[in-house]
Chain A
């Protein structure tokens, strides 16, 4: 069992959770993910590490309530335990001094962008972070980003309630046009990553993306996470999750992410009904 040692609500639908897992905490690098299972009936879901402390032996992740598992998770807190936490999985984000780097985080993907931005800054890069959210209430980790030695933090919201009223691709485009970045990284919903890649591509700026396909085991066993990169099938879990965005077939990724939409709605509805019955 993995005791929950930290739980914080970041916005209406976004939560941060910390778990005691010293062996994992000693190993994590930016860009890696974990698999968790709440209890004996639970599904295994992948979540990217948002923070960790090797010294204190904890790891953190951030999730948005989208289905049964995440709703159930949001109802848990310090004192509860998770049945299983496995990691760190996936190849860490390639971090080196690349010069001027833009790190784009969209929605809950901002959580995974945070350690990447931190690692990129530590490696000596001039880092610009672009955070995108639907509205001010959904912007997460603003204080944490402000505490990093960034070149600039640009916040975009769909309704302009915080920062610019723009999509993340607008500032990314300006940076590309101004020749102000040498490298970019995008982490967020597939559709956002797709458009970030298209924007960067126009200006021949590399754009690495962190993909979030469906997974079962997370260690290469099942192949649920198949993605097409450069015309070849890759496994998101062991070959990724980071890939050269210019090579990724995003249409296929988005289609494959929807395989279980109906089942997910059903499971969530059952869970919500159970919750309301128990209240």
Chain B
């Protein structure tokens, strides 16, 4: 072995001190807006290895890293970047997967700018390390390896316990992976025909390719997680039946908050009015953009109004554009500053020609012969801050506007689906139908845990994953007590 200093003496025990590169944050290569807005292929292209190494080299490798505090699943960010700096990508992936079973997914959809990257020391004076992009690169690196080269987290010794996980979205998948590490047998029940939950039916292909989701779910199956699609808990089996007849010792509920909300305004049931859930499910899960090769159609409007200001609204608007709409509007009752969507999504939407109609609050959907022809909206102005801390929109009297459109997509958020609680009467719910749990996800029903949107209401992928992992730890403790 050649020594590093070339003197022929023994190699030093310690690694050479890392000297962070003083270079600007490495930009993410993306496809040109005019080209990408015509198809469903991924918008961002991901770093090359050189870019990833260069970006990793910006990391200061702080003695007391603060970035980790910003991560809902406590990924050891310093270590994985450290391994990247050393060029040991397999080791870097292993560090990531210690805490996150879905790095290629999270690297794409986490709001890193509010989480780890916001806590990066470099962010104080300039631009943070692009932690999310590095995570994505590593996730993709792992998926590009032959199966035997991939990092499959080690599974614990068989505990003899069986756990049912309801829902194969972020919360359920994270919980399932963690439970396998503890050695419990895990079966995930999914009501749809494909796994991934919102990752599959909600987030569009151009932002999160479905083969990435399926590949990362596949690694969980490699860990021995059994997945059963087409099973609706609350219909095919109840929670009680899972715990008695089906022989499960514990259940985790991560079925999400899937019921779409509407405004309750006149004309909302006209043809051409969609919930974002329906619009996106038709296109993402059912591949309506390939109609008639795929059998599911979607109404392709020429002028589409998307009501709402979150990420889902951006996804719906950009999807409408890709389906061939000439004009797509985001209609939002506050201003861009209050929009809950990620800046990056807003930026991408604007680049793709989405128009923003701010301070517009729809009060009626207009129609002719059963079909949408437009929206009537109140003009709003910002008043005093409301409970969310954002300035509340107030109606400007006598200043209604009419927006001509042939399609309306309501992206107003979702609420809890009553299907499961209705058949589980001893599960305590909040007034709004969400499942009540303690900090660890334990519900009012012994052995039954819950996490993700069904507990918190609509939130992010990574928060749901964090909740799934926390619950898995608590379930492990609970299962051990039963021994």
Binding site for B on A (CB under 8 A): 23-24, 27, 37, 41-44, 68-69, 83-89, 216-217, 219-224, 226-228, 233, 235, 238, 252, 255-256, 258-260, 263-264, 266-267, 270
Are A84 and B418 in contact, CB atoms less than 8 angstroms apart?
A: no
How far is it, in angstroms, between the C-alpha of A84 and the C-alpha of B192 when the chains are bound? 9
B:2-39 near A, CB below 8 Å: none
Are A221 and B232 in contact, CB atoms less than 8 angstroms apart?
A: no
Smallest beta-carbon distance B338→chain A, Å: 26
Most buried by A among B191, B231, B272, B296: B296
Q: With A24-B236, A238-B419, A256-B269 given, is the CB distance from A219 to B262 under 8 Å?
A: no
| Interface residue from B271, B294, B417 paired with A238 (Cβ < 8 Å) | B417
Q: Interface majority SS on B: helix, strand, loop or mixed?
A: loop
Binding site for A on B (CB under 8 A): 191-193, 201, 229-232, 235-237, 258-260, 262, 264, 268-269, 271-272, 274-275, 277-278, 281-282, 286-287, 290-297, 299, 370, 417-419
Residues of B within 8 A of A41 (CB): 287, 290, 293-295
Residues of B within 8 A of A69 (CB): 295
Are A252 and B417 in contact, CB atoms less than 8 angstroms apart?
A: no
Q: List 17 A-B contacts (CB under 8 A).
A: A23-B237, A37-B193, A41-B287, A43-B296, A69-B295, A86-B232, A87-B232, A217-B191, A219-B232, A219-B258, A220-B419, A222-B278, A223-B262, A223-B277, A238-B417, A258-B271, A263-B291
Residues of A within 8 A of B269 (CB): 226-228, 233, 252, 256
Are A255 and B259 in contact, CB atoms less than 8 angstroms apart?
A: no
Smallest beta-carbon distance B239→chain A, Å: 14
Are A224 and B278 in contact, CB atoms less than 8 angstroms apart?
A: yes
Are A86 and B230 in contact, CB atoms less than 8 angstroms apart?
A: yes
How far is it, in angstroms, between the C-alpha of A267 and the C-alpha of B290 when the chains are bound? 12
Residues of B within 8 A of A42 (CB): 295
Are B235 and A89 in contact, CB atoms less than 8 angstroms apart?
A: yes
Closest B-chain residue to A39, C-beta based? Answer: B295
How far is it, in angstroms, between the C-alpha of A260 and the C-alpha of B272 when the chains are bound? 10
Most buried by A among B230, B278, B417: B230
Are B297 and A267 in contact, CB atoms less than 8 angstroms apart?
A: yes
Residues of B within 8 A of A227 (CB): 269
Smallest beta-carbon distance B63→chain A, Å: 48
Are A223 and B417 in contact, CB atoms less than 8 angstroms apart?
A: no
Closest B-chain residue to A89, C-beta based? Answer: B235
Closest A-chain residue to B367, C-beta based? Answer: A255
How far is it, in angstroms, between the C-alpha of A256 and the C-alpha of B278 when the chains are bound? 14
| Interface residue from A37, A219, A223 paired with B419 (Cβ < 8 Å) | A219
In the A-B complex, list the 8 residue pairs whose CB atoms are closest, starting with the nearest: A263-B297, A222-B278, A255-B370, A43-B295, A223-B275, A43-B296, A221-B258, A84-B193
Q: Interface majority SS on A: helix, strand, loop or mixed?
A: mixed
- Seed contacts A43-B294, A84-B193, A217-B192; 12 additional CB < 8 Å A-B pairs: A41-B290, A84-B229, A86-B231, A86-B232, A216-B278, A222-B281, A223-B274, A223-B277, A228-B269, A238-B417, A259-B271, A266-B292
| Interface residue from A27, A216, A256, A263 paired with B271 (Cβ < 8 Å) | A256
Smallest beta-carbon distance A62→chain B, Å: 20
Are A267 and B292 in contact, CB atoms less than 8 angstroms apart?
A: yes
Smallest beta-carbon distance A225→chain B, Å: 9
Closest A-chain residue to B416, C-beta based? Answer: A220
Residues of A within 8 A of B299 (CB): 259-260
Q: With A43-B295, A89-B232, A238-B419 given, is the CB distance from A255 to B271 under 8 Å?
A: yes
Are B236 and A264 in contact, CB atoms less than 8 angstroms apart?
A: no
How far is it, in angstroms, between the C-alpha of A252 and the C-alpha of B365 when the chains are bound? 15
Are B418 and A223 in contact, CB atoms less than 8 angstroms apart?
A: no
Are B235 and A87 in contact, CB atoms less than 8 angstroms apart?
A: yes
Are B230 and A219 in contact, CB atoms less than 8 angstroms apart?
A: no
Residues of B within 8 A of A222 (CB): 260, 275, 277-278, 281-282
Residues of A within 8 A of B297 (CB): 260, 263-264, 267
Residues of A within 8 A of B295 (CB): 41-43, 68-69, 267
Q: With A27-B235, A27-B236, A267-B297 given, is the CB distance from A221 to B277 under 8 Å?
A: yes
Are A223 and B282 in contact, CB atoms less than 8 angstroms apart?
A: no
Closest A-chain residue to B293, C-beta based? Answer: A41
Are B230 and A216 in contact, CB atoms less than 8 angstroms apart?
A: no
Residues of A within 8 A of B275 (CB): 222-223
Residues of A within 8 A of B201 (CB): 221
How far is it, in angstroms, between the C-alpha of A259 and the C-alpha of B296 when the chains are bound? 12
Smallest beta-carbon distance A211→chain B, Å: 13
Residues of B within 8 A of A233 (CB): 262, 264, 268-269
Closest B-chain residue to A225, C-beta based? Answer: B278
Smallest beta-carbon distance B189→chain A, Å: 11
Smallest beta-carbon distance A214→chain B, Å: 10
Are B286 and A220 in contact, CB atoms less than 8 angstroms apart?
A: no
Are B258 and A85 in contact, CB atoms less than 8 angstroms apart?
A: no
Smallest beta-carbon distance B457→chain A, Å: 16
Residues of B within 8 A of A255 (CB): 271, 370
Smallest beta-carbon distance A212→chain B, Å: 16
Smallest beta-carbon distance B426→chain A, Å: 20
How far is it, in angstroms, between the C-alpha of A217 and the C-alpha of B296 when the chains are bound? 12
Are B264 and A221 in contact, CB atoms less than 8 angstroms apart?
A: no
Smallest beta-carbon distance B244→chain A, Å: 14
Residues of A within 8 A of B191 (CB): 86, 217, 219
Smallest beta-carbon distance A219→chain B, Å: 5
Closest A-chain residue to B287, C-beta based? Answer: A41
Are B231 and A44 in contact, CB atoms less than 8 angstroms apart?
A: no
Are B236 and A83 in contact, CB atoms less than 8 angstroms apart?
A: no
Are A83 and B278 in contact, CB atoms less than 8 angstroms apart?
A: no
